[in-house]
Amino acid sequence: MSHYDFRILGKEHAAYPNQLDCTHNCTYIIQLLNPATGEIELELCPLSAEQFVGVLLEVIESCHLSA
């Protein structure tokens, strides 16, 4: 399995600025890149990325508890 790569860019360099859901006045974004194609899979501001990771960790925890 290949690992995802990421880029950190100024918010003004967002590939999909209309899809960014940032009302926190963040100055940069994180782009998650597909390891096979290099295409942008996900583009988030840092606070949205933290919230997303929190949800993923909750799902993983619930999977462990139900296994």
pTM of structure: 0.83
The tokens for 41 are 């899979």
Residue 44 vs residues 33, 36, 50, 67: alpha-carbon distances, Å: 12, 20, 9, 31
Would you call 30 helix, strand, or coil by DSSP? Answer: strand
Could you give the number of structural domains in the chain? 1
Q: Tell me the residue range of the domain where 11 lies.
A: 5-66
Per-residue pLDDT, 2: 67
Give dist(CA 13, CA 26) in Å, integer. Answer: 13
Q: Which of 1-5, 18-22, 34-38, 56-60 is least confident? A: 1-5
State the chain's mean pLDDT as an integer: 92
The tokens for 54 are 């929190």
